[in-house]
């Protein structure tokens, strides 16, 4: 029997820390963040040194950008030129595709496994651009569901998510189809979805430029909640999930805020740190990309089962935040519990590919609930994952037991989550 150790640490208010486990081997620009600036081109930001300098200048309107881990290129749509630009690690730029079907790009994403780019445009079409630059209409607005799409995200399996700038609806296209279906009608939003990204735990993070908040949508249920809001946010645009690499060597969100001339980082509790404040910048920051020397993590956290109810009828709920990767980590979020609740995180033995793995977790003796965003009762346990290749593909099961604050000695169990570690 092989024995490994996964450590858990408690996350609480007032304990913001970006230090984590060692990152993969250094790659070119590993610590740099790349920012698209209207009328200026691409700027390079190094959070370690606070350097912010021009990297690939051009007169145009670069928007959302995406770092391609396969070849180290930045893929950037140019709004005014109706083109997709390619920027090499040396800062050289060239045109991958220019206007054919493409009219005024409004959102952009890349599907890493296939190396295909997808662009939303002002005609309410989703355009596919293959690695050779050939354009086709991937999904037209025949359904009538698109309304100025300004957010795009795509999972590794090819599931695509589209956010409407007008109306705030979030749509989903399943692999093998080009027909969108409604995931959520945007209730509770101000109908301005302006950038999205997904993780391996069933979360879709989106920026709502109307309320100046980062919202989270559960892709299994369509539920929406405010993940992070800050008075410094102003007309948010792009968002990226960083699961490893980058300055912090730890999973977090990065967002661009053009009207406050800022780039922000957000941790698993929704707490905000300013990475860049550039008030004298002559141009708006429309997009941000963070390099990594490996593709996005393929680890997953999948909820299973129902759990049992507390005396108030609520069932403790266990979900994941971010993707479980070796050399990085993920978080377990416990919700539907009252403030002051006490409990423990349980870790069960697992067996994968015929090999039994006993995991000893360095877990806290218990947790205490605290009031999170919008007074929702939640607590978060971060689970660092060792940088051990033998863990890739291994599956573990977590569950939470909570003591009922209204009935001491009585306990309720959450649903389980199945955690599969990615590389």
Percent of the chain predicted with pLDDT > 90 = 18
Is 2-16+298-420 CATH 3.40.50? no
Overall pTM > 0.75: yes
Reference 24, options 333, 389, 380, 317; nearest CA is 389
pLDDT tens for 99-122 read 666 677 888 888 888 899 898 888
* Residues in CB range of 44: below 8 A, 6 or more apart: 29, 32, 33, 34, 35, 51, 52, 53, 54, 55
The encoded tokens of residue 168 equal 């705030």
Tell me the C-alpha distance between 328 and 24, whole Å: 9
* 312 CB neighbour count, 10 Å cutoff: 13
Tell me the C-alpha distance between 155 and 172, whole Å: 11
Going 356 to 362 to 365 to 371, the CA torsion angle's sign is: negative
Question: Which stretches does DSSP call E strand in 251-341?
Answer: 252-257, 262-266, 272-277, 285-289, 300-304, 317-321, 329-335
Angle 176-180-183 from CA coordinates, rounded to 5°: 115
Domain map (residue ranges) of the chain? 2-16+298-420, 33-289
The whole-number pLDDT of residue 219 equals 93
> Of the given ranges (110-124, 172-186, 241-255, 385-399), which has the lowest mean pLDDT?
241-255
Reference 43, options 32, 30, 59; nearest CA is 32
The encoded tokens of residue 355 equal 């090999």
Q: Classify domain 33-289 at the CATH topology level.
A: Neuraminidase (2.120.10)
């Amino acid at each position: 029997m092989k024995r490994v150790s996964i450590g858990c640490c408690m996350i609480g208010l007032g304990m913001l820390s970006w230090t984590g486990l060692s990152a993969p081997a250094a790659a070119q620009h590993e610590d740099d963040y790349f920012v698209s600036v209207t009328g200026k081109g691409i700027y390079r930001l190094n959070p370690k040194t606070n350097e912010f300098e021009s990297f690939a200048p051009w007169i145009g309107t670069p928007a959302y950008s995406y770092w391609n881990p396969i070849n180290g290129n930045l893929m950037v749509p140019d709004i005014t030129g109706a083109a997709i630009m390619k920027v090499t690690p040396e800062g050289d730029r060239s045109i991958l595709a220019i206007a054919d079907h493409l009219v005024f790009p409004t959102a952009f994403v890349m599907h890493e496994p296939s190396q295909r780019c997808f662009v939303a445009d002002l005609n309410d079409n989703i355009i596919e651009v293959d690695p050779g630059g050939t354009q086709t209409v991937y999904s037209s607005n025949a359904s009538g569901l698109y309304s100025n799409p300004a957010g795009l995200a795509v999972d590794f399996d090819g599931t695509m998510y589209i956010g409407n700038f007008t109306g705030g609806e979030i749509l989903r296209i399943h692999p093998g189809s080009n027909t969108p279906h409604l995931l959520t009608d945007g209730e509770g939003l101000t109908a301005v979805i302006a950038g999205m990204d997904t993780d391996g735990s069933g979360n879709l993070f989106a920026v709502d430029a109307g309320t100046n908040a980062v919202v989270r949508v559960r892709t299994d249920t369509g539920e929406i909640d405010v993940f992070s809001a800050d008075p410094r946010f102003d007309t948010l645009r792009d968002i990226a999930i960083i699961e490893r690499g980058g300055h912090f060597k730890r999973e977090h969100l990065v967002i661009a805020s053009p009207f406050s001339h800022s780039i922000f980082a957000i941790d698993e509790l929704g707490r905000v740190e300013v990475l860049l404040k550039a008030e004298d910048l002559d141009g708006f920051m429309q997009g941000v990309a963070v390099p990594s020397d490996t593709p996005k993590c393929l680890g997953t956290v999948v909820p299973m089962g129902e759990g049992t109810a507390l005396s108030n009828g609520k069932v403790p709920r266990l979900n994941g935040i971010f993707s479980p990767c070796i050399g990085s980590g993920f978080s377990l979020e416990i919700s539907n519990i009252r403030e002051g609740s006490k409990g423990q995180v349980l870790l069960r033995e697992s067996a994968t590919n015929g090999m039994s793995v006993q995991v000893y977790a360095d877990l806290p003796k218990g947790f205490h609930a605290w009031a999170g965003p919008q007074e929702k009762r939640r607590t978060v346990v971060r689970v660092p994952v060792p940088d051990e290749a033998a863990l890739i593909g291994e599956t573990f099961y977590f569950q939470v037991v909570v003591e009922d604050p209204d009935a001491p000695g009585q306990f309720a169990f959450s649903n389980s989550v199945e955690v599969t570690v990615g590389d």
